[in-house]
Amino acid sequence: MDSELKEEIPVHEEFILCGGVETQVLKCGPWTDLFNDQSVKRPKLLIFIIPGNPGFSAFYVPFAKALYSLTNRRFPVWTISHAGHALAPKDKKILTTSEDSNAQEIKDIYGLNGQIEHKLAFLRTHVPKDMKLVLIGHSIGSYFTLQMLKRVPELLLMLPTLGAKK
């Protein structure tokens, strides 16, 4: 396993406008656009990490790389920052489109409710509805995940079956 983790694993950094706020998304693996990738190799599952405070997604890069490696590089692992917790460097473009509903402001985006709506807005715009999700939350990210599932129960959720016998 150590040799697998030492291999270079691609991590793509994007800054997007989500809920009217700059948001950092780190994408582990070669897939950066799941909507427009209609290839046979497009994954059917996304591992989505929602961090704890302070909402700094780069903290989770080693974990994301390990997950990506341990799933034999078959599934993308994406980590999203909390709204307002990451600012794009001056030389980095913030991605958005004019018809992007995520560019619309979310009321009280810095509060608990706003942070939950922020994550849901991202999933609606950047993840196809037929994509299965493994949602991983750390600390307050776990609370966000549970609230997301209460609000949108149709989220396709694949629960881990670690240790389960078939």
Query: What pLDDT sits at residue 78?
Result: 97
Enter the pTM of the model. 0.84
Q: Which residue has the higher pLDDT, 148 or 102?
A: 148
Query: What pLDDT sits at residue 37?
Result: 75
Each residue's pLDDT tens digit, 17-66: 898 899 999 999 888 888 887 777 889 899 999 999 988 899 999 999 99
Q: Which residue has the higher pLDDT, 92 or 45?
A: 45
Q: How far apart are alpha carbons 43 and 72 in whole angstroms?
A: 12
Our separate counts of H helices and E strands in the chain read 4, 6
Q: How far apart are alpha carbons 13 and 140 in whole angstroms?
A: 23
**Domains, in order of start, for the chain:** 11-32+41-95+105-151 (3.40.50.1820)
Q: How many CB atoms lie within 10 A of CB 36?
A: 9
